[in-house]
Chain A
């Protein structure tokens, strides 16, 4: 124990402040780990070691003067959906080509302001569309975990698969993710790490490439909730450049870890048993989770979210409708890849045909269809109505309970070659995560155990609007009870 790769974000921060370790040392160790392991994991699309070293030097200078923000000298990875000033940003798509934004997303700007050091841009499903990180134009990301009986390459989940894999393998101390229907929580569960999807409006969307604007929300991914809390505090906040960002103060999330769960009312949505086809291992873990919370002083209640079974289909209508419009700007005219053609329509067709991958094209087509004249009422409008009902389900449930406990995903990570051939089967991965996204309420995933084949499973907690603190407190109680200290096969701290 106690190599440089055993640090959590919180302990590294404290060691940096105490000058027990330098930021340059910490950053170099992570750059080194990336070089050793990422050839296999493929969690980075773009590495920025030189920038990172510069940042680390500056951090050391600040720390030497007793200055520096809460993340001063902490090496992080950034999902390649956040625009970063002067660093190529791809959304894991060919269509953006070598697009280098002349601006910084608000979330990453907040992290930089607090002194964070960026090691590079992390892989994801193309435009965050996927649940297995298999749709990236830069190749799939491999999960650092292996089944105990097989060497098959597992998926890290998606869309924030690169973020999840890099955190799990110890290549970064924390990462940014984005979650539209589960893209932080499901990969966190698949890789044995923690991740928070905050309340919609908590983190600014400015400078983050849009998938579905009414659902997209940035959040932290890290080894545990303490680290996530520290990151979220930096990432969150009102931004006048995002009209959907909410002007409410950012609390001290780190402090909420110690709150405990005595007297907390925990709801168990019964529809999540019956309508979702969850695996035996997951069902067992869920019950364990209830017991842990009870033992820590919480009370368990049965609750009903009656419209759960409609969440997934209505999500895939609402999200894809928005996506079809959001992705119209990638047309080869102003930036990114252009395939020349003799007419304007020809240029659009050729550029978009060459630039977008299969899954993105499928989703644009579906989204265009559900908004089309003659179909709008049956699809888009109906989905919006269902969305309102789902929101009401949650509001009603939260009249009687403080948080909801559910599994994060129906199963553990599957192998890359077990990828379902039917896209709808793939969409079922989001069955537990999508309802909270549709409602806009916050949710998180914590690692809670391993399945029979030795891959991690996560539990999800869903909270009230802007009550991330209660969520973090409850999550931390599970963390403590679960005592999840397993490590993936591929990890920076494990010598090859």
Chain B
């Protein structure tokens, strides 16, 4: 079942590790009071500290530390009570101080793990090596002027969590599943909005290939700053392909940093190992070592929301939904909340069925999200209640839902307005059926001579005649009775 790429010399296995940069959800930046909000006019969210003015000093934002710890707890990781900030020195125009404050030797979070679900229904555990806090840089803008570059420091100093995975990933699919799961966890905890378009989650992808059965890793290449899950998956595939071609042509893969070009679907060398920066890391003397208390970690743990895995297990146990249904319902916390509101006081299985089916279809059709759904959870619950108490049947309910989406009216109001209440009067059903049978005597003869499949035809005709309002069970029962007469 393992993912393999077939080259001219046979099969190859790929080895992938991901470094995810996730922007921390916080009011202020990691070391200054400036707003960490996305967007804004250039250079409006900048303090003197962010701009690296003489004599300015960083002061650690405790909320960012709490967010890192919460994330670590969500990844079931070791929380390091002692960590330290280092300076990573390099010159660039959008790096005002000439160094990035990061955690090199002593990260705040150690080993953890992420469980990913694969399409074949299997689950894999991907190890997390570490998570550390660091500052983002500003943005260089090169396309506004033919000779000059502009700098926007709004992002300079915003807190990032760099989450480094073990080289445990073995296919593009696993990489995608890992990123989706990581994003899901971050969103649940509220530590990163996971918005890849706005750059609040970006990935550096480390790729190498080897022959199945090899135990050592071959040389890897790092693909920098890939900004969507789809591109990560594509980049892995084309980079692995490239490396296989290099090996199979008798060459060796050089350790280097590469860029992914999704338009041309290729990776290109950015800089070789020889050109790699010497970052001259050393402990930042402006900051004390970061020492946190176990009791504080425990408090944060207690206050943590229910995480995706736990929520899925609970939904399955409490509402009897399938593993597949729970996975879809738990992708977003808001969806799970919506579901639970519907399911409490309705048929929970029916609720799952409807959410995954007609309800999601309605969202897709209207381009809405669960947060601004045209139908409230209470509204959907009412609709399902009407099915359960046989006021309407499932088919009519679909029509009612469409009307709810369109008009915003409640299910019962629509049922009343359109007179959709289902007919349970056996007399009315019987007379409708008799009319159908009388008009189709040839089909009745065929049925009686053994063409059982025609039963469905009679049901359809009856429902049609009753404008869909016939109670399906009663229609079935009555039909059987009359046809056997």
* Nearest residue, chain A, Cβ from B97: A329
- Report the minimum CB–CB distance from B101 to chain A (whole Å): 11
Q: List 13 A-B contacts (CB under 8 A).
A: A82-B55, A83-B55, A210-B54, A241-B57, A243-B60, A325-B98, A328-B91, A328-B99, A329-B54, A329-B97, A345-B91, A371-B89, A373-B280
B31 to A, closest residue via Cβ? A243
Q: Nearest Cβ in chain B — how far from A444, in angstroms?
A: 24
Kindly identify, within residues 72 to 115 of chain A, every residue whose CB is under 8 Å from any CB belonging to chain B.
82-83, 89, 91, 96, 99, 101-103, 105
Residue in chain B with minimal CB distance to A321? B282
Q: Count chain B residues whose beta carbon lies closer than 8 angstroms to a beta carbon of A.
A: 30
One of B204-212, B266-274, B285-293, B329-337 contacting the partner: B285-293
B96 touches A373 (CB 8 A): no
B53:A335 contact, CB within 8 angstroms: yes
Q: How many A-B residue pairs have CB under 8 A?
A: 98
Given contacts A208-B55, A242-B57, A344-B93, 13 further A-B contacts (CB under 8 A): A82-B55, A89-B54, A102-B48, A103-B48, A206-B57, A209-B55, A212-B285, A241-B59, A243-B59, A329-B53, A333-B96, A371-B281, A380-B282
Please, which residues of chain A bring their CB within 8 A of the CB of B190? none
Interface secondary structure of B, over-half rule? loop
Residue from A205, A214, A328, A345 having most chain B Cβ neighbours under 10 A? A328
Seen from chain B, the residues whose Cβ lies within 8 Å of a Cβ on chain A are 48, 51-60, 87, 89, 91-93, 96-99, 149, 151, 278, 280-282, 285-288
The answer for the CA separation of A372 and B97 in the assembled complex, in Å, is: 18
A382, chain B: closest CB distance, angstroms: 13
| Chain A contact residues, majority secondary structure | loop
Contact call A240/B59, Cβ cutoff below 8 A? yes
* Cβ–Cβ contact B99 & A213, under 8 A: no
A254: Cβ under 8 A from any B Cβ: no
The CA-CA distance from A103 to B53 in the complex, in Å, is: 10
B60 touches A213 (CB 8 A): no
Evaluate contact between B54 and A331: CB separation under 8 angstroms: no
**In angstroms, how far is the closest chain A Cβ from the Cβ of B169?**
29
- Asked if residues A333 and B151 are in contact (CB atoms below 8 Å), the reply is yes
| Residues A371 and B280 in contact in the complex (CB < 8 Å), given A243-B288, A244-B288 | yes
- With A96-B54, A205-B57 known as contacts, the answer to whether A243 contacts B97 (CB < 8 A) is no
Q: Are A368 and B55 in contact (CB under 8 A)?
A: no
Asked whether B54 lies within 8 Å of A209 as measured between CB atoms, the reply is yes
The residue in chain B whose Cβ has the minimal distance to the Cβ of A82 is B55
CB of B356, distance to nearest CB on chain A (Å): 51
- State the Cβ distance, A59 to closest chain B Cβ, in Å: 26
Within the complex, the shortest CB–CB distance from A351 to chain B, in Å, comes to: 11
Taken together as a complex, chains A and B put the C-alpha atoms of A372 and B87 apart, in Å, by: 13
- In the complex with contacts A325-B280, A328-B91, A99-B285 CB distance below 8 A: no
Q: What's the Cα separation between A244 and B59 when bound, in Å? A: 10
Chain B residue contacts of A322, Cβ below 8 A: 282, 285
B367 smallest CB distance to A (angstroms): 43
- How far is the CB of A332 from the nearest CB of chain B, in Å? 10
Q: How far is the CB of B374 from chain A (nearest CB, A)?
A: 49
Contact (Cβ within 8 A) A372 B59? no
Q: Chain B residue with minimal CB distance to A328? A: B98
Q: Which residues of B contact A209 (CB under 8 A)?
A: 54-55
Quick one: closest B residue to A81, CB to CB? B55
Distance (Å) between the CB of A91 and the closest chain B CB? 7
Bound CA–CA A331/B95 (angstroms): 10
Bound together, the chains give a CA A469 to CA B226 distance in angstroms of: 59
* Contact of A355 with B by CB under 8 A: no
| Cβ contacts under 8 Å, B58 to chain A | 243
Residue A325 contacts which of B56, B59, B99, B278 (CB distance < 8 angstroms)? B99
Bound state CA distance, A348 and B98, in angstroms? 11
Chain B residues positioned under 8 Å from A376 (CB to CB): 280, 282
- State in angstroms the CA–CA spacing of A16 and B151 once bound together: 52
| Residue of chain A at shortest CB distance from B99 | A325
Residues A334 and B285 in contact in the complex (CB < 8 Å), given A325-B87, A329-B97, A344-B93: no
Within 8 A of B (CB), among A183-220: 205-210, 212-214
In the complex, what distance in Å separates the CA atom of A83 from the CA atom of B151?
25
- Chain A residues contacting B96 (CB-CB under 8 Å) are 329, 333-334
Top-6 shortest CB links A-B: A328-B98, A371-B280, A214-B285, A213-B285, A207-B55, A329-B52
